[in-house]
Amino acid sequence: MDLLGKKSYTVIMKKALIILLAAVLFFFIFFKFTGAAPAGGLRAFGGKIINEEARRLTTLEASGWSCAVPGDTFDILPVFGSAGSYLVPPGVLARGGGAPSPGKKVLGLYSLTRTPITCTFPDPPATQIVYVYPITIFGLTKL
Q: For every one of its 143 residues, what pLDDT tens digit does the chain have, with 9 covering 90 and above?
A: 555 566 677 778 778 777 777 777 766 665 555 444 455 678 888 899 999 999 999 999 999 999 999 999 999 988 876 678 999 998 888 887 678 889 888 888 888 889 999 999 988 899 999 999 999 888 888 76
Question: Global pTM?
Answer: 0.66
Same domain, 57 and 26: no
Same domain, 119 and 103: yes
Same domain, 107 and 132: yes
Task: Please enumerate in sequence order all residues whose Cβ is within 8 A of that of 55, keeping only pairs 6 or more positions apart, or say none.
Answer: 75, 85
Contact (CB, 8 A) for 50 and 77: yes
Range of the domain at 58: 37-140
Same domain, 62 and 89: yes
User: Residues 121-124: contacts with CB within 8 Å, 24+ apart?
Assistant: 121/64, 121/65, 121/66, 122/64, 122/66
Same domain, 15 and 59: no
Separation of alpha carbons 130 and 76, rounded Å: 16
Same domain, 32 and 57: no
Same domain, 67 and 32: no
What are 127's strand-pairing partners? 120
Same domain, 89 and 29: no
Q: Domain containing 94 — which CATH number?
A: 2.40.50
